[in-house]
Structure 1
Amino acid sequence: MKVLITGCGIAGPVTAMALRQVGIDSEIFEAYPQGAENVGSFLNVASNGLAALSVLDAHRPVLASAIPTPRMVMWSGTGKRLGEVANGLRLDDGTVSHTILRSDLYRAVRDEAVNRGVRITYGKRLTSFEDTGSEVIAMFEDGTSARGDLLIAADGVHSRVRRLLDPQAPAPRYSGLYSFGGIVKNAGVPGEPGVYNMIFGKRAFFGYTVAESGDTWWFANLPRELGDEPANWKRVLVKAFERDANPSADLIRRSPVDDGVPIYDLPPVPVWHRGRVVLTGDAAHATTPSSGQGASLAIEDAVVLARCLREERDHREAFKRFEAERRPRVERVVAYSKTISNSKAAGPVARVFRDLLMPFFLKRSASQESLAWMYRYQVAL
């Protein structure tokens, strides 16, 4: 069997590795002319995602480039401590959730896939595909094409394949937030390494963690109308946080600030597969970063899809089984993450109620039992 994979972000290489482990050959076709070594800020790989990577024996390069971040402490913009919650649950071997530069995560899984014999071709932007019944043909913008037995779409939240598969598929849903991030070397900010300080500010949301090195990793979520993009984002961010009782404004002043990135997720996507084509990762169920689960869900998808293809003789049955196994979980995570994102964009009145109720909510949700549905999920080949 030969599988075509569109998209060489995180989901594409991990899917290719999972397929290779069950004896299925694949090739990745990436739209951009080069890799994503310098794309994006940083992200969370939750303990469940690391557990899924370990099934493929691909977790060590990721851990080597990441910093452990097992806990989160919540604060109000006035400096009031609202509570604490785990960022994932510790695995049996002691592994906890980690934070990693997106470029480092990409490089780790891409290089590992290449080392295992996966072929990646760049500059192949898919424009259409044809499912003949006996094979699928992918057509690219440069006039070339590729033939395979199956097409797996790992082409992200703005997936071209999703729109081709179902022209009525829902469009990505803007969360109301723009995202920013940076790292300040030797920032001198007090804080316990491994703890994320999450601040529900008066105008925006801010998070930071201090690494063992003394560097401070920070991110910000700014409520803003989509398309309202100023010439100077740093000035806007500093103004959003300058009245908060925390180091957010100072960290932003000391950082280069790139253009804000609008945050999207996906409402439930009715069609995940048709014929010889299937969606995976963000192409099927993009979530906002608020759950810290985007990369982990894509990694889980890879393992589950490979297992279904190995165990089912008919690809249609494999795709049905994959969807049945994954849809309830991923849609629950997307909804959970959307709720958190909405709290970051609260108005003046809602902020008051949020800060009053947050301590009670955190006490209820801080137990391992309440988090187990998300973090204790285990996949296997």
Structure 2
Amino acid sequence: MSNNGGHGAGVRTALVIGGGVAGPVTALALRRAGITATVHEAYPSAADGVGAWLGLAPNGLAGLAAVGADAAVRAIGQPVPGVVMADGAGNRLAGFGGFPELPATLTMPRDRLFRALTDHAVAEGVRFAYGKRLVAAEETPDGVTAHFADGTSATGDILIGADGIRSTVRTVIAPQAPAPEYGGVLSFGGYAAADSGVETEPGAMHFAFGRAFMGYWRGPDKRLIWFAGLPTDTPPGPAELAQVPAAEWLTRLRELYAGHVPGEQLLRHTGPDELMVVGRMERMPSVPHWHRGRMVLVGDAVHAPSSSSGQGASLAIESAVELARCLRDLPTPDEAFAAYEALRRPRVEAIGLHAAAVNKVKAGKGEHAPVFPAPEEMFRPLHFHRIEWEEKVRAGVTP
């Protein structure tokens, strides 16, 4: 895809730290803006293996379309346009078939999205460097130098932290930035047998609220894919989580979801080998400083909204595209970063706060039957949001 101008901020090269969702999309967007970006990923290779599933909403797909990556992701995603909300006794509360003028939300395993975005970026000429765990970054007269754990370094005009909720770049930019906030719930996912007896509406994601929350839908292989939470005030760390056998977690979940419709049934038809231990449900509280000098944050590194939002990947994609527009059109990195923050902060923080409220419900610390607006009203400001790539960003922009 050709770019349309570029170098507005005098930026020709960028170091992108992190190769998840935000990293490849940022590099693609920068390339379209005329800026050469190299993605530095801490792990030795692109993500592989089975992981938790995620949803990519229509606004996220629109962001991918702006950088030509939407077709690559549509090829791996399962369309799930509808939503059905119910209580834990099986009573339907609301339904929504999706906006007919928008593409359907797609669901997919997280690692398959990482791989699709990486493969597409590589095909477009983006360079990836693996085994590059950032340990320090410093501004130099010519730009920013990143230092990696393997003893190597790299220099670019700017450095972009796309390194997730435990961002190293965030600690460099703002050492006093808050840590990720635990939402009171350990997250799990799994696969229940196709013949579990649980009914689903075609193309619909089901949400069942009650004493405990569960979401589920029917996957491409007809098995039921579900996600659920185990409320706990004192969550174990990743190492402790890994030491608990899957069968033990399953027992605890079955106890919690006894009497829940359809949680009890889904868990009864899920074996230990079909359980995914996702870990602590977390979000980023408001980060006071998104950028400093020639360094800036994007995606979960600065605005992870927690999985309750259904918007984490989509917001990361939006921010990557918006950041590239600002760097394309404004004269200095500082002005570009300030405009990017002004354009993005209100939206991502509002979505994050709403997700935090939902987390309280899931943790048993909020209303058992949350009052939702009509689904159309709830999803419209999320799904219709568009970043107009061709529009010029003005200095001193406000939301």
Q: Is the TM value for this pair above 0.5?
A: yes
Deviation track 1:295-343 (CA, whole Å, cap 9, x = no partner) reads 0001001111111111112111111110010011111110111111111
Which residue of structure 1 aligns with residue 319 of structure 2? 301
Which residue of structure 1 aligns with residue 53 of structure 2? 42
Residues in 2 aligned to 1:186 and 1:264: alpha-carbon distance in whole angstroms: 31
Residues in 2 aligned to 1:63 and 1:183: alpha-carbon distance in whole angstroms: 22
Which residue of structure 2 aligns with residue 116 of structure 1? 124
Which residue of structure 2 aligns with residue 268 of structure 1? 286
C-alpha displacement of 1:184: 3.9
The answer to whether the Cα contact below 8 Å between 2:191 and 2:270 also exists between their aligned partners in 1 is no
Secondary structure of the residue aligned to 2:274 is coil
1:30 has 2:21 as partner:
no
Residues in 1 aligned to 2:253 and 2:322: alpha-carbon distance in whole angstroms: 41
C-alpha displacement of 1:24: 0.7
Could you tell me which amino acid in structure 2 is paired with residue 182 of structure 1? G
Could you tell me which amino acid in structure 2 is paired with residue 346 of structure 1? G
Which residue of structure 2 aligns with residue 129 of structure 1? 137
Which residue of structure 2 aligns with residue 138 of structure 1? 146
1:57 has 2:68 as partner:
yes
Q: 1:157 to 1:244 in 2, by over 3 A?
A: same
Could you tell me which amino acid in structure 1 is paired with residue 56 of structure 2? V
The answer to whether the Cα contact below 8 Å between 1:49 and 1:295 also exists between their aligned partners in 2 is yes
C-alpha displacement of 1:260: 4.2
Residues in 1 aligned to 2:195 and 2:31: alpha-carbon distance in whole angstroms: 43
Q: Gaps spanning 5+ residues in structure 1: where?
A: none
The answer to whether the Cα contact below 8 Å between 2:185 and 2:281 also exists between their aligned partners in 1 is yes
The answer to whether the Cα contact below 8 Å between 1:304 and 1:379 also exists between their aligned partners in 2 is yes
Q: 1:205 to 1:162 in 2, by over 3 A?
A: same
Matching residue within 100, 107, 111 for 2:115: 107
1:1-381 correspondence to structure 2 within 5 Å = 1-38=12-49, 40-85=51-96, 89-90=99-100, 92=101, 94-184=102-192, 186-188=194-196, 189-202=198-211, 204-211=212-219, 213-228=221-236, 229=241, 230-231=244-245, 232-246=248-262, 247-253=265-271, 256-347=274-365, 354-355=368-369, 358=370, 361-362=371-372, 364-368=373-377, 370-381=378-389
Q: 1:23 to 1:140 in 2, by over 3 A?
A: same
Residues in 1 aligned to 2:159 and 2:215: alpha-carbon distance in whole angstroms: 38
Residues in 2 aligned to 1:255 and 1:81: alpha-carbon distance in whole angstroms: 31
Residues in 2 aligned to 1:256 and 1:371: alpha-carbon distance in whole angstroms: 31
Secondary structure of the residue aligned to 2:314 is helix
The answer to whether the Cα contact below 8 Å between 1:196 and 1:208 also exists between their aligned partners in 2 is yes
Deviation track 1:205-241 (CA, whole Å, cap 9, x = no partner) reads 2111013542211111221134345442122112221
Root mean square deviation of aligned Cα: 1.9
What count of residue pairs does the alignment treat as equivalent? Answer: 367
Could you tell me which amino acid in structure 1 is paired with residue 89 of structure 2? T
Which residue of structure 1 aligns with residue 393 of structure 2? none
Which residue of structure 1 aligns with residue 395 of structure 2? none
C-alpha displacement of 1:84: 2.6
Secondary structure of the residue aligned to 2:59 is helix
Residues in 2 aligned to 1:251 and 1:304: alpha-carbon distance in whole angstroms: 44
Q: TM-score, normalised by structure 2?
A: 0.87
Secondary structure of the residue aligned to 1:193 is coil
Q: 1:21 to 1:185 in 2, by over 3 A?
A: farther
Could you tell me which amino acid in structure 1 is paired with residue 353 of structure 2? A
Deviation track 1:137-180 (CA, whole Å, cap 9, x = no partner) reads 00011111001100000000110110111111011100111111
Residues in 2 aligned to 1:157 and 1:39: alpha-carbon distance in whole angstroms: 20
Could you tell me which amino acid in structure 2 is paired with residue 199 of structure 1? A
The answer to whether the Cα contact below 8 Å between 1:70 and 1:97 also exists between their aligned partners in 2 is yes
